[in-house]
Amino acid sequence: MNDGKVWYDGQLVNAEEATVPLLSFGLQYGWGVFEGIRAYPSSDGYLIFRLKDHVNRLLRSAKLLGLEVPYSEKELYLAVCETVLANEHADYIRPIAFGGQGSSVALGTTDMPTHVAVAATRMGEYVPGAEARGIDVITSPWEKSRWRALPVTAKICGGYIASVMAKRDANRHQADEALMLNANGTVAEGSAENIFIVEHDTICTPPLSAGILEGITRDTVMQMAADLGYEVKEKEIAWDEVVSAEEVFMCGTALEIQGVRSLDGRLIGKGLPGTVTKQVISTYHDLVRGKIPKYLAWCDRAETVVKSVLI
């Protein structure tokens, strides 16, 4: 999966050399934060989608966790771009900052180092064939963490246990994705995606107060859909509204944007990606490949970043 080069604590090394001490807090307790970033090939080389926003979110997640990251934003931009350039055919980048091994494995230990790594791998289509048919989703029995359980707006490694279980449950039931509800019983998000429903010409998504990650793809969709002339609204969404919506789609860095074909076996709309969904998907497809001038600032060319940061 990753047999190339990994950026580990400041240097590019062979992936097999990037090892983790067994008593690391990251491994023992999930004490770490991570990101997922897409790289898209273009005629001009690799474009990294919303690099600065992902690095900002990584640092913000670390702050919420209380994890000190010993690298600047610029050093992290460089790390991401160098790693993708060092791994031919990689299209998905995974930066992670996590607690290493300290003087003790006791929970209150504070003297462990923070390790930072960036791996780049080939993801391709997250759900193969999804664009044509849409995805099948089931409601997860696992509730989205509450605000008092964990800083839910941070991408904390240990916080992903419920997401992994939800996604595996979905796959075991021949579905592609899981929908997670929050403690109030309203719709939160997917295992690693935000959700939108389409009602007439309005595109709605749950607000941050639903306990969701502030997805960068979600933000992209909101800006893009408004530019396409749709009304975009944040509102609490009930499970019933998802089933009855004209169209539903989910979005995230890995999944990109995909229409939802069914929820818990009930077909959504006509059971195929709808007109609005298709328009949003095709605009996003061009946008991330640097084909829409208005959004070019979101697409950083990896080689340019490396050159400009090194100057």
Ligand X SMILES: Cc1ncc(COP(=O)(O)O)c(C=O)c1O
Give the residue numbers marked as catalytic: 155
Cβ proximity to ligand X: between 112 and 288 the closer is 288
Dihedral of CA 264/268/273/279: which sign?
A: negative
Asked if 215 is part of the footprint of ligand X (rule: CB under 6 A), the reply reads yes
* Minimum CB distance to ligand X, residue 23 (Å): 27
Q: Which of these segments, 59-67, 192-200, 203-211, 238-246, binds ligand X (CB under 6 A)?
A: 192-200
What phi and psi, each to the nearest 5 degrees, are found at residue 234?
-95, 125
Asked if 177 is part of the footprint of ligand X (rule: CB under 6 A), the reply reads no
Asked if 274 is part of the footprint of ligand X (rule: CB under 6 A), the reply reads no
* H helix runs in the chain, sequence order: 25-29, 51-65, 73-85, 130-133, 161-172, 216-227, 239-244, 275-288, 302-310
User: Which one among 101, 121, 139, 217 touches ligand X, defined by CB under 6 A?
Assistant: 217
Spatial separation of the C-alpha atoms in residues 124 and 122, rounded to whole Å: 6
Asked if 194 is part of the footprint of ligand X (rule: CB under 6 A), the reply reads yes
Cβ proximity to ligand X: between 54 and 115 the closer is 54
Cβ proximity to ligand X: between 101 and 256 the closer is 256
Q: Restricting to residues 219-258, name those near ligand X by CB under 6 A.
A: 252-253
Cβ proximity to ligand X: between 112 and 210 the closer is 210
Question: Token digits for 54?
Answer: 């992902």
Let me know if 73 is exposed, middle or buried by CB neighbors in 10 A (0-12, 13-18, 19+): middle
Asked if 136 is part of the footprint of ligand X (rule: CB under 6 A), the reply reads no
DSSP string, 119-166: EEE----SSTTHHHH-EEEEE-SSPPPPTTTS-TTS-BGGGGHHHHHH
Q: Which of these segments, 58-66, 104-112, 215-223, 299-307, binds ligand X (CB under 6 A)?
A: 215-223
Query: What are the residues binding ligand X (CB under 6 A)?
Result: 36, 163, 189, 192-194, 213, 215-218, 252-253
